[in-house]
Structure 1
Amino acid sequence: MIDRRELAGRHAVEVTGILPESPLSVGNGGLCFTVDVTGLQTFPASYPVEDRSGTGPGTLLATMASWGWHSVPGSYGLAETMRTYRTPHGPVPYVDMRGDLSGSAEAPASAAESWLRANPHRLDLGRIGLARPGAAPLSPADLSGARQRLDLWTGTLTSRFRLRGTPYRVVTACHPERDVLAVRIESPGLTEAGVRLAFPYGSQAWGNAADWSRPEAHTSELRASAGGFTVARVLDGTAYDVAVAVTGGGEVARCGAHEFLITFREPVAELVIGFDARGAGHLPGFGEVMAASGRHWARFWSTGGAVDLSGSRDERAPELERRIVLSQYLTAIHCAGSTPPAETGLMANSWRGRFHLEMHWWHAAHFPLWGRPGLLERSLGWYAAILPRARETAAAQGCPGARWPKQVGPDGRESPSPIGPFLLWQQPHPIFLAELVRRAVGTRRALARYADLVLDTAAFMAAFAVEGPGGYGLGPPLVPAQESYADVRASAANPTFELAYWAWALEVAQRWRRLMGLGPNPHWAEVAAGMAAPRVRGGVYAAMDAPPYTVRDDHPSMLYALGFVPQTRLIDAGTMRATLADVLATWDWETTWGWDHPAIAMTATRLGDPATAVEALLRPVAKNAYLPNGHNRQSATLPVYLPGNGGLLAAVALMARGWDGGPPSPGFPASWAVRHEGLLRLP
């Protein structure tokens, strides 16, 4: 038996000063509160996020919720961005973008493109930090003696420090089931200090969730309530309440259009702060939140999957174990909300907080594999809400079923882009995710919840594939998972990864039909069995079967046709082994992304190469770095990247537990002692 409490305890996070790239968070999957070393958001400028749009830096210290979205007024529609492409189905309209788009900047060509890409955007719900009434603003120079600890077993942060020589102790927690924060502040200087609450307007910038320059565009109404107060927020069509209960003789006063200062008459105070889009209800006490957090996180770590590498002889084992443990915590607080998460979760905006459905697998597929299927089901159910829109897209492209979008907000509306509307590899994801849930919770429950999702997804897939001389093919137009081919989207066809994924997912959908008591769909069977063979050039798989065939940057997606995708008739293991060797020798590694490394580890694992699997997980390149807080950093504009954390957990599940009919612990060399519990096999 693995000592779960000891495992979590040895990876508690401790910091002793401001780490600009690595703040700590508490959350519940639907609400996240990221803080500095004061346990609050006292020094937001010390944790900057560079913005791609040139509007100025944002901050990692945000308060975000799954429901917290905003749109500036506008009346643009996708029809203004449509462009017709020649396809095997005839002329088909696609949402497109005529402006420029690159990995570091975007330049929309019209007001419609600009608005549709930027709205809705996720909103920073409020800034909560220490302040000194009537004195100069606090600065990092006032801080000394900082020591902060995130206790994973209880989900609580304890922060000790001195401000201008005065000692403080702050305890911070989040309720596991309600969007409620609890803070306890102890200091002999508290009667001369205060807590500042400030509220921004929504920002249309690429990576900034707060706009402090438009106080006239929103309202913050202060209302008294028993034991505290409520701030009623209205930003155009967005409204939410922030209810605060306060002890310690706390009193609130307005100090700006959207700023409020809480002062105290006692050296110890507790604040409970509730965020609610429907109007805040009765708030629990500080002790109730702390107790609920402790019970929740003890149960989280005591159940589900666990991996202990402490007996391994490899010197890299402690670091990999640290990444595994912290990734479980981070994905639980950032990737387990009611919608698929943004790539930066609920910590900061990227792509304006909109989520990318091709990344949903990497964020959340590990939840059922680690025995926590309910955390995936929270967002998997969202697909049903946008099913009518996905059916409209499929019908406009001459197909039955549902075609899923790429870059969206909670309404499921596609974003203008020369990439997103042409991607295909998000399409089979709902089938894969539903199948993982079925294997975890049982067939009856899964069929009741996700049968329509699976069948509509497969109906589009089978109709989209068109028979040609070499079998059923995909595209054009399309953009493969390796987005380097966006400029040739009008002629791109038959990417290796997508061909294998299409065939496998259609076979899974047929299995669901049988489980539902339905007969097999003959056309689905014909397409799955007749997918075109991937292009082989020089003894290795090409990225796609159209010029330029393979470019050597971004995602080496041809590898994922065996690894991420289980074995299919389309992929020869020997050719894939040669492809893996070719990629390892020639790829531009600095252009890869965080999830590429666990994806490569999955390929190596299924090919029986555990040494390469471990090397892939720990490859020392910039976008495979994991910060002290456990986050997978990519760049100054993409400072956290949850697909890397979720991908790591999915890869480790495959490496430790294996797949149906496969060997035990197939992804770890003999020098690794891998103890695991509660993991599920992959297909």
Structure 2
Amino acid sequence: MAVFLLGLVLLADPAFGKIDRHVSPKQGIVSKYNVKRERLIDNNTTPLQVGNGNFAFNVDNTGMQTILPFNTLSSWAWHNDTLPTGKESLGDYHGVAMMTHGRNVSYDIPDPDLPGVSQWLISNPNRINLGRIGLRYQGATLPATKITNEVQELDLWNGIITSTFEVSGESVKVITQGDFESDAVTFHVESQLLASGDLEIELDFPYPPIHTTKYKYEVFAGVYDFPLNHTTSIVKNCKVNEAHIYHELQETNYFVNLRWPFNNPLSLNRVEPPGSNEATAHRYTLSAATKSRHRSNTIDFTAHFSPDKRTAALPSSIQKRNPKQWHQYWKEGGFVDLTSSSNPKADELQRRIILSQYHVRVNSAATGQSPQESGLMNNGWYGKFHMEMVVWHNAHWSTWGRQKYFDNIFPELYETLLPSSIARAKSMGWEGARWPKMTEINTGVSSPGGINGLLLWQQPHSMYLAELTYQASPRRATLKRWDSIISAAADYMASYAWKNESSGRYDLGPPSYGVTENTPPAETLNLAYEIAYWRYGLDVAREWKRRLGQRIPEKWTTVAENLAYPPQVDGLYAVYEGLNSSWWENPKLNGDPRSLIMLQGILPDTPAVDPDVALKTADKIKEVWTDDKIRGWGRPVLAINSARIGNPERAIYHMTAYDYWIFDDAGFAVRGGDGKLHTK
């Protein structure tokens, strides 16, 4: 049987060939996949973005947020809703007790007797939208009906969005750029409508709603319905080319620092008087100032968002350095070139690879924290990140050779969460540090959830990520920096494991949830993947101590070498202990058996996993986990497993099953693969 090999080439040096005298080979490949739009988008379309990983500005066809109120999100802007009223008190919440091997343990689960407090803890703090910047035409927000002949392009190599269109027959051009050095966006706008005064810049500031479950996912974060709940004001500045808007939302306050060139002055004005109860109460205009009775037909300005009042960089400074910063990024680390492949599916895979590299730099390069599931595009799960996802969302920085971005996140993330995680474990009667599930770095609270409180597989991640750090930098400084984190995690993992006197082995759970979150928690004992990952994590912790020349805690060794085995039924791995062979026909379980695939894929070799059994299990899963059932990140997991077991045909199939795994024009997954067959 012929095998179509995509010919993946990892390039450490950009000089691997020539496209022409002026364009580097990498640049030619990257630029081929620039995103181009020639029709107005709607609410169901993803925006284009500029940003730096800590901050992102999301745009519609105008290069701003004019016809759709897309978000301006950051890693630092958070807000707490008003506390529940009535008889419920935040201090009354202590979790929900569940019997755990003879004792009651309080887990982070919503308390049915405290529904308001439980929901508040789930949804707070929540990430806020810093504001909207768009275009205003003849005294009102520019409507889509006035826009024609729209053409937009995201230049991936340079990190520039260029948008051209006509408004009432007059041409408009907007160039949008982000900045790697500050949480800022800069604009260059050209149109005769600026000179006539018909076209202005519009800034508006929403307020976070009370985050009931209705606002678990916010495509457009914030609302404009509560103008009296927050205040905005222009802060006086003696400099003629600067202005500042101060936004105060109870405990959350920040500035929008504006700056423009001296020779092209702008005028900032408020649309409504302070204290207005109108939906437009916090709307401002920025327009070309009259100079010798004439207005310019261009506007250049920077909008810098910060907790502090600062002097923003000049537009020209950002416009000069932004492309250089993107060039440096594209030249760093690995690069996949599929241009020599004869496989007709290679081009689409190349497109996805290139666009994903752009997106992670914009959405997933924050300092000391992991991205939320939707990055900096919109809010999912109230803007919080998920600790079980930190490997998927961040390990790529290390494996692609962009270690500095990885090191910007770890181990600082774990260091920040360590005190609250130690307190969590202690309150539950265990030693060490129990990492949260759904959280943020401001509080470290593990948001209550029926699944959240019982999930296990985030616990060994710190060992996995520490090993990536050590591979990149095998120095004593690395060992010492991570030591307290790994020790606390291992102490918890050894303490959590319960010795089964009947088997003589150490069990995990119940109650527990595994990777797939689809098993009955009160019955879920010794999940196969979690058992294997527990063994891997404790083995890494022991090796860490050996490298440091320190004593290995006896409990770590006792538990690691006496953990229960990943359960088997008829020579195949089973999801958890106690199942019989009929589980393969149970749609609740066979609909998503990805955890068993992960035993021989993302998980490094461990004595807990028999490679032959894992291989046979993977073949069985191929029979039952059919295309119509595969969801989300299931396909990447299957591809990783296939590559690991030496089946490149299967790996390529899963990476190129485009009829089931749709990515839009901007390179974002449509539901991450919804299991449905899509035809063009």
Question: Normalised by the shorter chain, which TM-score bucket?
Answer: 0.7 to 0.9
C-alpha distance in structure 1 between counterparts of 2:437 and 2:30, whole Å: 35
Query: What is the aligned counterpart of 1:357 among 376, 387, 408?
Result: 387
Structure with bigger gyration radius: 2
Q: Deviations over 1:627-677 (max 9, x none)?
A: 21111221899xxxxxxxxxxxxxxxxxxxxxxxxxxxxxxxxxxxxxxxx
**1:422 corresponds to:** 454
Matched residues in 1 for 2:630 and 2:591: separation? 7
Relative distance call for 1:35 and 1:443 in structure 2 (3 A) is same
Output the CA distance in 2 between the equivalents of 1:269 and 1:524: 64
| Structure 2 equivalent of residue 557 of structure 1 | 595
What SS does the aligned partner of 2:336 have?
strand
SS at match of 1:307: coil
Confirm or deny: 8 A CA contact 1:194 1:261 kept in the other structure: yes
Structure 1 partner of 2:357: 328
Residue 409 to residue 591, structure 1, CA distance change in 2 (3 Å): farther
Deviation of 1:98 after TM superposition, in Å, equals 4.8
Contact 2:593 2:621 in 1 (8 A): no
**Displacement of 1:179:** 0.7
Change (3 A) 1:96 1:81: farther
SS in structure 2 at match of 1:484 = coil
Deviation sequence 1:80-134 (CA, Å, 0-9, x none): 25221222373211121256xxxxxxxx961111211111111000000011133
Match of 2:144 among 131, 140, 149: 140
CA 1:16–1:498: 2 relative to 1, 3 Å: same
Larger mean CA deviation between 522-531 and 262-271 belongs to 522-531
CA displacement, residues 502-561 of structure 1 (integer Å, 9 cap, x when unaligned)? 111211111211222213333222322222112222443211114596612346212111
Letter in 1 for 2:575: A
Name 2:511's counterpart in structure 1. 477
Structure 2 partner of 1:95: 108
Distance 1:441 1:300 in 2: 21
Cα gap change, 1:544/1:470 in structure 2, threshold over 3 Å: closer, same or farther? farther
CA contact (8 A) 1:274 1:280 kept: no
Displacement after TM superposition at 1:299 (Å) = 0.8
* Cα offset, 1:577, TM superposition: 2.3
1:150-549 alignment runs, 5 A limit: 150-191=154-195, 192-203=198-209, 204=211, 205-208=215-218, 209-225=221-237, 226=239, 227-247=241-261, 248-256=264-272, 257-264=281-288, 265-277=295-307, 279-338=308-367, 339-380=369-410, 381-410=412-441, 411-468=443-500, 469=503, 471-485=505-519, 488-546=520-578
**Is 1:8 paired with 2:45?**
no
Aligned residues: 609
Query: How far apart in 2 are the matches of 1:220 and 1:327?
Result: 37
Runs of 4+ in 1 over 6 A off after TM superposition: none
Tell me, in whole angstroms, the C-alpha distance in 1 between the residues paired with 2:111 and 2:513: 16
Cα separation, 2, equivalents of 1:262 and 1:403: 50
Q: Bigger CA drift: 5-14 or 590-599?
A: 590-599
- State the shift of 1:146 in Å: 1.8
TM-score between both structures, scaled by the size of structure 1: 0.85
Deviation at 1:382, TM superposition (A): 2.0
Paired AA for residue 216 in structure 2: W
In 2, distance between residues paired with 1:313 and 1:321? 13
CA–CA separation in structure 2 for the residues paired with 1:244 and 1:42: 19
Q: Distance in 1 between matches of 2:514 and 2:183?
A: 38
User: Contact between 2:532 and 2:608, CA under 8 Å: does it hold in 1?
Assistant: yes
Q: Equivalent residue for 2:7?
A: none
Query: Among 124, 127, 132, which residue is 1:122 paired with?
Result: 127
Residues 79/94 of structure 1: CA separation in 2 closer, same or farther (3 Å cut): farther
Alignment partners' CA distance in 2, 1:445 and 1:179: 31
What is the aligned partner in structure 2 of residue 608 from structure 1? 646
Aligned counterpart, 2:80: 71
TM-fit CA distance, 1:591: 5.5
In 1, Cα distance between equivalents of 2:417 and 2:222? 27
Deviations 1:343-370, CA, capped at 9 Å, x for gaps: 0011000111111111111111100111
The farther-off stretch of 551-560 and 190-199 is 551-560
- The Cα RMSD (Å) is 2.1
Counterpart among 557, 562, 571 of residue 609 in structure 2? 571
Residues of 1 paired with 2:351 and 2:321: CA distance? 25
The 3-state SS of whatever aligns with 2:667 is: coil
Q: 2:135 is aligned with what amino acid?
A: L
Q: Is the 8 A contact 1:5 1:302 kept in 2?
A: no
Give unpaired runs (5+ residues) of structure 1: 45-58, 100-107, 638-683
Is contact 1:147-1:159 (8 Å) kept? Answer: yes
| Equivalent pair of 2:463/2:486 in contact (CA under 8 Å) | yes
- Cα distance in 1 for partners of 2:673, 2:309 equals 36
Code of the aligned partner of 1:370? W
Give the CA deviation at 1:497: 0.8
Report the Cα offset of residue 572 of structure 1: 2.3
Given that 2:72 and 2:132 are in contact with CA atoms closer than 8 Å, whether structure 1 keeps it comes out as yes
Q: Distance in 2 between matches of 1:37 and 1:480?
A: 42
Unaligned runs of 5+ in 2: 1-14, 17-24, 273-280, 289-294, 675-680
- Indicate the SS of the match to 1:270: strand
Secondary structure of 2:532 counterpart = helix
Contact 1:465 1:472 in 2 (8 A): yes
One-letter code of the match for 1:92? Answer: V
- 2: distance between equivalents of 1:592 and 1:64? 31
Corresponding residue of 2:277: none
Q: What is the Cα deviation at residue 387 of structure 1?
A: 0.9
Compared with structure 1, are the counterparts of its residues 446 and 196 closer, same or farther at alpha carbon in structure 2 (3 Å cutoff)?
A: same
Task: Report how far residue 621 of structure 1 moved.
Answer: 5.9
Q: 2:513 corresponds to which letter in structure 1?
A: V
Please state how far the C-alpha of 1:184 moved relative to its aligned partner.
Answer: 0.5
Measured in 1, the distance between the counterparts of 2:591 and 2:204 equals: 43
Residues in 1 aligned to 2:38 and 2:480: alpha-carbon distance in whole angstroms: 50
Maintained 8 Å contact 2:594/2:637: no
Give the match's secondary structure for 2:596.
helix
Name whichever of 239-248 and 305-314 sits farther off. 239-248
The structure, 1 or 2, with the larger RCO (C-alpha pairs under 8 Å, 6+ apart) is 1
1:590 is displaced (CA, Å) by: 5.1
Tell me, in whole angstroms, the C-alpha distance in 1 between the residues paired with 2:389 and 2:524.
21
What is the DSSP-based 3-state SS (H/G/I as helix, E as strand, rest coil) of the residue aligned with 1:29? coil
Shift of 1:221: 1.2
Counterpart CA distance in 1 for 2:466 and 2:320 is: 34
Q: Which residue number corresponds to residue 80 of structure 1?
A: 93
Q: Structure 1 residue 607: deviation in Å?
A: 0.9
What is the alpha-carbon distance in structure 2 between the residues aligned to residue 606 and residue 133 of structure 1?
Answer: 61
The amino acid across from 1:434 in the alignment is: A
1-structure distance, mates of 2:450, 2:626: 23
Q: Secondary structure of 1:567's match?
A: coil
Tell me if structure 2 keeps the 8 A contact 1:605–1:613.
yes
Report the Cα distance in structure 2 between the residues aligned to 1:635 and 1:497, rounded to whole angstroms: 22
SS of 2:535's partner is helix
Residue type matched to 2:52 in 1? Answer: N
